[in-house]
Amino acid sequence: MAGQGQGQAQIPNINTLASQGIRGAGYGTAQEMGYTPQQVQAGQLSSTSLSPYMNPYTTDVIKANEADILRGGQMMQNNLGTQATAAKAFGGSRHGIATGELGRNMVQQLAQSSAGLRQQGFQNAQQMAQQDIQGRMQADLANQGAGLAGSGQRLGASNQLANISNLGFGMGQTVQQNLANQGMQQQAMQQALIDAAKQKFAGYTTAPVSGLGYMNAALGASPVPETSTEQKSPGLFDYLTMYYANR
């Protein structure tokens, strides 16, 4: 039995728990009142470096494209030479004009092709950087919303804890009032028992007197003769009576 008593958990005091809950709720509320949400600032493409987004193979692609253009131009120039030789005009003015026009077209094609490739790479880099900026913005807004939601949940939990603690405090007051009323009832019952015991004891101690009273009451129906003595001054006749009685 002793081991069972030691193993039983002690019932906590409801007023202590209510006090701890109210203190914790106040601390949590004060902490959330000072909560500062995460600051969100939109990113700027102008301040973003595009180097990480540039295709590292752009230069290689441009060089390969230039090589293809030059190779095609060389083939066209060879065809012009063949045609001019067949026409017996190789080295003439018409051959020179055709060769010059071919060269100009090649240079223009090289410039346009290289510029187009570089422009396309730059635009792709801008697009990817802009996507990252928007992604970071959305993530920051989501984190800000999550922080505010978390703060609201913690504040709601603090308020709930305060309500539960107030309920527990009220229950504690009710229990104390019930215990006080029960104590008063027990005290009144004990006082009534004491008064009854005193009255009973008084009845035992006054029993002989009461019995004598009963006897006197009974004797009152047949009164006991009483003797009374009267005193008076003797007169002349009293003395004469005494004289003749003694003769």
Burial class (CB in 10 A: 0-12, 13-18, 19+), 158: buried
Which of 64-68, 101-105, 184-188 has the lowest average pLDDT? 101-105
- Given a cut of 50, whether residue 243 has pLDDT beyond it is yes
User: Where in the chain are the domains?
Assistant: 40-158
User: What secondary structure letter does DSSP report for 52?
Assistant: G
Which of 40-49, 115-124, 198-207 has the lowest average pLDDT? 198-207
Mean pLDDT comparison of 100-104, 172-176, 189-193, 229-233, highest-scoring range: 189-193
Q: What is the mean pLDDT of residues 92-98?
A: 72
pTM of the model: 0.44
What pLDDT digit, counting tens, does each position of 142-189 carry? 998 888 888 888 888 888 888 888 888 887 788 788 888 888 888 888
